[in-house]
Structure 1
Amino acid sequence: MINTKLNALFQSWKNDMTQNGDIGFCEDGLIYRNGNENKLWQDSKRKILFLLKENNDNDGQDVREWTGSINGYSPNGLFYNRLSAWLYGLTNYTTNSYPTIEDAFNARNQMKALSEYPYAYVNVKKKSGGATADDSVIYDFGKRYANYLRQELDILSPSIIVCGGQVVFNVATDIIYKELTFIQKNSWVYYNEKNNLILINSFHPTARKSHEEMYGWMMENIVK
């Protein structure tokens, strides 16, 4: 089981972080689906992973338990509003079309994605921070724990990685996958043929951008 393998990895990772004075390890990985997450992930036509910076004041929490909603009817805040729309769009696009903004940001579709679609959520920095992340700190964590990050992503083996912010994309290309060559298809999409892996150089979900910039631009470029 994927999360069982991750749990074993996290134990060593947490021990190393503790020795380095980095307390408050936050687990992440494949979002729980009542024990069915492994099969759903393996059967998925696209294994979508969101690579992000850090948790916001959630020391010791397990992201895999998060539902992305408080009321069960709509996403929680701007972060999950964008993330769920991306998940819905990236799951359902075809070679020449993608769900409209209206469909992607429809609360029912968003909640279906958050509650039913398999997806992975990985933070570069496993120790939570505050409301604003320091990119230099994120990059430094990526360098210091590069081996663990690569092992985590290899266990998950995604087909699409959405990098939430330029520093996260830099960590992915400079550190995690430094030996891989990614061909730039456009300003958003990079592809490694050997691993059949797509990297999307996206904004952070809470960036001060319109839905068109956050969703429309991504989807336009992914179908090109």
Structure 2
Amino acid sequence: MTLESFNLTQDKNDQLFKGDNVIYDGVVDYDQYKSANPKLLWILKEANSEDSEWTMRDALANLKHSSLKGLKEGWANTFTSIVYTTNGIFTGEDWDSMGNFNENQSIIDVMLKVAYINVKKVPGGSQADWNLVKNYYTENKSALHEQIKYIDPEIIIFGGTYNFFDDDFFESFGKLEANVENKSLHIYQNEKHLLLNAYHPNNRAIKHKTYCDLILEATKDWRQKYGK
């Protein structure tokens, strides 16, 4: 797929989500996502925002703080774990070995390689209402499924969102081997896909380091098992 055809597809998919206050999301940078190995998608609940005069795609492409230290204001609580976990997936490093993005902001550039979507596309608050998110999923189910289909990820990390999706969504990935022994991370995998049912990245149950390293270990095991 060329950049032009991809943009047309993305624009078409954007229009499936009705309303005047949609915060659009998806692939952050087409060229970098196209060449990335593996293809990675994060799925969270909603944007913590009072308005929709912006897109998640643009926000993640410009996530660095202007002071040259870390993430831009208001994004660190959720995106610290996301940035370090994503970086580790692509570099093979763990939390302790990959450095500090307050000292090396280039680590944040890894977000250009991924796709990111929220289940609920309209503005929300710091604490998502489960019922509102589920209702939005139900009303926009076909659009969400279509969006994920065109993103075509190999790895999906559900940040507290796995249980919003219906069974027919998971059936499209074929037979999945399940490993749910660790309550902090449930793993579903086959030769083509790795689906990770994780906590929200700003959860209070486990530390950022534990969150990151659990996902990195699962990803490493999947790649070794299937020769990725």
What TM-score, normalized by structure 1, do the two folds share? 0.80
Distance (whole Å) between structure 2 residues aligned to residue 151 and residue 109 of structure 1: 39
| 1:92-103 alignment, distance < 5 Å | 92-93=91-92, 99-103=93-97
Structure 2 residue aligned with 1:50: 42
Structure 2 residue aligned with 1:190: 188
Counterpart selection for 2:128 from 133, 137, 140: 133
* Corresponding residue pairs, total: 203
After TM superposition, give the deviation of residue 83 of structure 1 in Å: 0.9
Distance (whole Å) between structure 2 residues aligned to residue 197 and residue 58 of structure 1: 35
Residue 171 in structure 1 maps to residue 164 in structure 2:
yes
After TM superposition, give the deviation of residue 113 of structure 1 in Å: 4.0
After TM superposition, give the deviation of residue 10 of structure 1 in Å: 1.2
After TM superposition, give the deviation of residue 123 of structure 1 in Å: 0.5
**Superposed CA offset, 1:116-152 (max 9, x none):** 5411110000011111001222122112111000111
Could you say if the C-alpha distance between residues 58 and 211 of structure 1 is closer, same or farther in structure 2, counting changes exceeding 3 Å? Answer: same
| 1:5-154 alignment, distance < 5 Å | 5-14=9-18, 18=19, 23-31=20-28, 37-60=29-52, 61-66=54-59, 67-71=62-66, 72-76=68-72, 77-93=76-92, 99-104=93-98, 106-107=100-101, 111-116=105-110, 117-154=112-149
Distance (whole Å) between structure 2 residues aligned to residue 105 and residue 92 of structure 1: 12
Give the RMSD, CA atoms, in angstroms: 2.3
After TM superposition, give the deviation of residue 175 of structure 1 in Å: 5.5
Distance (whole Å) between structure 2 residues aligned to residue 90 and residue 62 of structure 1: 25
State the AA in 2 paired with 1:53: K
Contact 2:70 2:103 in 1 (8 A): no
Could you say if the C-alpha distance between residues 135 and 147 of structure 1 is closer, same or farther in structure 2, counting changes exceeding 3 Å? Answer: same
**Superposed CA offset, 1:63-107 (max 9, x none):** 0111223234312422121110011011123xxxxx132234521
Structure 1 residue aligned with 2:226: none
Structure 1 residue aligned with 2:207: 210
Could you say if the C-alpha distance between residues 55 and 3 of structure 1 is closer, same or farther in structure 2, counting changes exceeding 3 Å? Answer: farther
What TM-score, normalized by structure 2, do the two folds share? 0.79
Q: Which runs of 5+ in 2 are unaligned?
A: 222-228
Query: Kindly, what percent of the aligned residue pairs are identical?
Result: 21
State the AA in 1 paired with 2:56: V
Q: Which runs of 5+ in 1 are unaligned?
A: 32-36, 94-98
State the AA in 1 paired with 2:100: N
